């Protein structure tokens, strides 16, 4: 449980940390879209250079980003192999039944790999430099126009921020209760299937009880302070669009231009 | 005396090997004798709970080793070997009522003994005995633990640990969040177990009064290391040192220290009300004479 790295915020004071979360969210999605513009070496090198620049600017060591790739490595390799074995075109190196390896296929494999890594690095950058609360606030403002067509954006954002807020609490609680039951002789993850299922009960019941208690406390606290939904509510954490955010957008526009120019 | 616990050069790093790694214990060496009552004190985050969790194998040392009730534990110890150890070490966590889950109070108390191989019948016998010991009325034994008051839930949880009939009882702030009367009753109960059944007790607490009243040994922790390992008399005899390490004095000792500043001649600062009263009674005739003279 302690090993979870994906999506953990790392406190920092870098340029990237201080960007407006709305801009960061939007540009991260936008980045994923324009990665699909890449179709030759020049474009991939350009995108890789940009990502390295952002990593550098975030003051977070490269190790964190590489760790973000690890959990997905099998999915990536699987996709890459599909590309390599089933692409056609170009010079054929090897052929067996439905499988063919061509130089085009190899190049495509490498490109797919790069695409995955670029996207993972960029989303890791977002979650490492933006707190979960900022992300859900940012999402709320980006989705605000949807309230016009009766999408319950405020409620969704509230649910999201509460859920995100309580993930670490719940993980702590799980560890604590597991420890307490271990001390009382429960062996989690040992013995036959029936035994294992039985051992989950002393963990789940206390977790449910404490989650319900917590939810009730939270609801009481929110009502006591007069919470009544999104419309007209002001925020404690103001989001502020600064010069750097505009610069970031301009950079991405320029990047898109360059990609269109370089791709074939 | 027999050593119940022997800890040697224990080091522990949380999430070791990740970028979030965090050192929590540094070269801790400590011996605890069978039948002793040891208090561990120290500022928040000094590593007390981390140290305790090694005592029944919930955490394994990053390096170094410890021997508890004849079980040797190093970083290589297999999880399977820990069950035997856990049988002998009762562990009361901070806010232990979070561990309750059974349908009835009696069943919850009987949970641990059943896990450690007692028959249902035997386990419920022990459970009933422990319920009485912690002061639960018979009438609650068949109700759901979730219908009880917070203080009663705490008692159920503690009875559930005692029902394992451990040799060593580890207590991590067992009285946090209780009212003063409940706190006193709880501490008296542990003292009784210590006296009558010669349980080895290890208590983590922020209550210096409890240290003064019950412990025969004190271990002071700071930043993951031990900075003192001595008796309450010795540790509390130096208010300045304690203050420097952000620790307080027991009420009685603090009061006596004030008297000492006013010129009352104590050889050593008394720890308990009884000691203070005796000391003052001894000094009374002279000072009383002066006062009235
Ligand atoms: N699960 C964990 N993951 C990472 N670090 C942890 C974890 N648990 C504790 N720590 C860190 O280890 C150090 C020691 O914590 P520990 O809980 O042992 O302190 P403590 O002396 O029991 O404090 P308190 O008096 O507040 O209970 C702290 O710096 C804490 O932040
Ligand atoms: Mg603690």
**Residue B38's beta-bridge partner residues?**
B202, B217
Q: How confident is the model at residue A188 (pLDDT cuts 50, 70, 90)?
A: confident
**Contact state of A3 with B18 under an 8 Å Cβ cutoff:** yes
Burial B89-107 (b: 16+ CB within 10 A, else e): bbbbbbbbbbbbbbebbbb
Q: How confident is the model at residue A1 (pLDDT cuts 50, 70, 90)?
A: very low
Judge whether A98 is closer than 8 Å to chain B, CB to CB: no
Q: What is the pLDDT of residue A131?
A: 87
**Contact state of B99 with A184 under an 8 Å Cβ cutoff:** yes
A interface mutation test: which of B81, B88, B99 has the most A CBs within 10 A?
Answer: B99
Ligand 1 atom having least distance to the Cα of B51: 18
In this predicted model, what pLDDT tens digit does every residue of A98-114 receive, in sequence order?
A: 788 888 888 889 999 99
Ligand 1 atom having least distance to the Cα of B50: 18
Q: How confident is the model at residue A50 (pLDDT cuts 50, 70, 90)?
A: very high
Q: What is the pLDDT of residue A3?
A: 42
Q: Which two tokens stand for residue B102?
A: 């059974």
> Residue A5: is its pLDDT beyond 70?
no
Q: What is the pLDDT of residue B239?
A: 87
Judge whether A183 is closer than 8 Å to chain B, CB to CB: yes
Closest chain A C-alpha to B91 CA, distance in angstroms: 6
Q: Count of CB atoms within 10 A of residue B86's CB?
A: 26
Q: What is the pLDDT of residue B2?
A: 66
Q: Which two tokens stand for residue A237?
A: 């954490």
Q: What is the pLDDT of residue B287?
A: 53
> Residue A133: is its pLDDT beyond 90?
no
CA R_g for chain A: 24
User: What DSSP designation does A99 have?
Assistant: E
Q: What percent of chain A has pLDDT over 70?
A: 96
Q: What is the pLDDT of residue A2?
A: 44
**Contact state of A180 with B101 under an 8 Å Cβ cutoff:** no
Judge whether A213 is closer than 8 Å to chain B, CB to CB: no
Considering the domain B3-237 in this protein, what is its CATH number?
Answer: 3.40.50.300
**Contact state of B98 with A184 under an 8 Å Cβ cutoff:** no
Residue of chain B nearest A211, judged by CA positions: B98
Nearest CA to ligand 1 atom 5: B14
More confident residue, B101 or A86: B101
Nearest CA to ligand 1 atom 6: B14
Gap between the terminal Cα atoms of chain A: 46
Closest chain A C-alpha to B83 CA, distance in angstroms: 7
Domains of chain B, residue spans? 3-237, 250-293
B interface mutation test: which of A184, A188, A206 has the most B CBs within 10 A?
Answer: A184
Chain B residues lying within 8 Å of A180, measured CB to CB: 91, 93, 96, 98-99
Q: Count of CB atoms within 10 A of residue B129's CB?
A: 14
Q: What is the pLDDT of residue B212?
A: 92
ipTM for the predicted complex: 0.86
In this predicted model, what pLDDT tens digit does every residue of B136-148 receive, in sequence order?
A: 999 999 999 999 9
Q: pTM of the full predicted structure? A: 0.78
**Cα separation, B192 vs B182, whole angstroms:** 15
Nearest to B158 by CA among B182, B179, B180, B142: B182
Q: What is the pLDDT of residue B290?
A: 52
**Cα separation, A134 vs B137, whole angstroms:** 51
Distance from residue B4's CA to the centre of ligand 2 (Å): 22
Please give the interface size between A and B, counted as residue pairs whose CB atoms are below 8 Å apart. Answer: 71
Report, as ranges of residue numbers, the positions in chain B whose pLDDT lies below 50: 289, 291-293
DSSP for chain B, written as a single string: --EEEEEEEEEEEETTTSTT-EEEEEEEEEEEETT-EEEEEESTTSSHHHHHHHHTTSS--SEEEEEETTEEE-TT--GGGHHHHHHHEEEE-SSGGGG--SSSHHHHHHHHHHHTT--HHHHHHHHHHHHHHTT--GGGTTS-GGGS-HHHHHHHHHHHHHTT--SEEEEESTTTT--HHHHHHHHHHHHHHHHHH--EEEEE-S-HHHHHHH-SEEEEEETTEEEEEE-HHHHTT-HHHHHHTT----HHHHHHHHHHHTT---SS---SHHHHHHHHHHHHHHHHHHHH-
**Cα separation, A49 vs A37, whole angstroms:** 16
In this predicted model, what pLDDT tens digit does every residue of B169-207 receive, in sequence order?
A: 999 999 988 889 989 999 999 999 999 989 999 999 999
Q: What is the average pLDDT score of chain A?
A: 87
Distances from the Cα of B137 to the Cα of B134, B156, B158, B216, angstroms: 9, 11, 15, 32
In this predicted model, what pLDDT tens digit does every residue of A207-262 receive, in sequence order?
A: 999 999 999 999 999 889 888 776 677 777 778 889 999 999 999 999 999 999 99
């Amino acid at each position: 449980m302690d090993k979870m790295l994906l999506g953990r915020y790392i406190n920092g004071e870098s340029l990237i940390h201080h960007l407006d979360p709305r801009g960061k969210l939007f540009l991260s999605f936008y980045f994923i879209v324009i990665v699909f513009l890449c179709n030759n070496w020049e474009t991939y090198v350009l995108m890789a250079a940009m990502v390295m620049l952002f990593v550098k600017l975030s003051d977070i060591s490269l190790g964190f980003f590489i760790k973000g790739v690890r959990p997905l490595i099998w999915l990536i390799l699987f996709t890459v192999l599909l590309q390599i074995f089933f692409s056609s075109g170009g010079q054929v190196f090897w052929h067996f039944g439905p499988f063919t390896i061509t130089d085009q296929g190899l190049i495509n494999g490498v490109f797919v790999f790069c695409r995955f890594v670029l996207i993972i690095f960029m989303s890791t950058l977002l979650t490492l430099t933006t707190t979960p609360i900022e992300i859900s606030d940012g999402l709320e403002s980006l989705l605000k126009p949807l309230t016009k067509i009766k999408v319950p954006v405020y409620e969704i954002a509230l649910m999201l921020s509460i859920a995100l807020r309580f993930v670490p609490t719940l993980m702590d609680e799980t560890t604590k209760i597991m420890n307490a039951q271990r001390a009382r002789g429960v062996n989690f993850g040992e013995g036959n299937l029936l035994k294992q299922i039985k051992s989950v009960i002393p963990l789940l019941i206390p977790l449910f009880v404490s989650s319900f208690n917590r939810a009730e406390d939270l609801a009481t606290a929110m009502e006591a302070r007069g919470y009544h939904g999104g419309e007209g509510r002001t925020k404690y954490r103001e989001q502020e669009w600064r010069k750097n955010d505009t610069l970031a957008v301009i950079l991405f526009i320029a990047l898109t231009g360059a990609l269109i120019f370089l791709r074939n | 005396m027999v050593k119940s616990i022997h800890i040697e050069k224990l080091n522990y790093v949380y999430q070791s090997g990740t970028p979030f790694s965090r050192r929590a214990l540094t070269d801790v060496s400590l011996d605890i004798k069978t039948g002793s009552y040891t208090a561990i004190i120290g500022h928040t985050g000094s590593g007390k709970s981390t140290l305790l969790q090694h005592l029944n194998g919930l955490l394994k040392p990053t390096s170094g080793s410890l021997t508890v009730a004849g079980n040797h534990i190093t970083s290589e110890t297999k999880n399977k070997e820990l069950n035997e150890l856990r049988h002998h070490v009762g562990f009361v966590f901070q806010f232990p009522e979070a561990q309750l889950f059974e349908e009835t109070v009696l069943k919850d108390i009987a949970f641990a003994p059943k896990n450690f191989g007692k028959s249902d019948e035997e386990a419920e016998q022990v459970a009933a005995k422990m319920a009485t010991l912690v002061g639960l009325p018979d009438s609650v034994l068949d109700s759901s633990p979730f219908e009880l008051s917070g203080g009663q839930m705490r008692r159920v949880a503690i009875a559930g640990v005692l029902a394992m009939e451990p040799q060593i009882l580890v207590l991590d702030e067992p009285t946090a969040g209780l009212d003063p009367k409940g706190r006193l009753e709880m501490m008296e109960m542990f003292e009784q177990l210590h006296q009558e059944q010669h349980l080895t007790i290890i208590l983590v607490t922020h209550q210096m009064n409890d240290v003064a009243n019950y412990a025969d040994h004190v271990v002071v922790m700071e930043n993951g290391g031990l900075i003192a390992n001595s008796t309450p008399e010795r540790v509390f005899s130096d208010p300045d040192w304690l203050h420097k390490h952000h620790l307080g004095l027991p009420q009685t000792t603090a009061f006596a220290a004030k008297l000492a500043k006013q010129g009352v001649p104590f050889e050593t600062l008394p720890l308990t009300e009884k000691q203070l009263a005796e000391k003052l009674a001894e000094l009374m005739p002279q000072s009383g004479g002066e006062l009235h003279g």
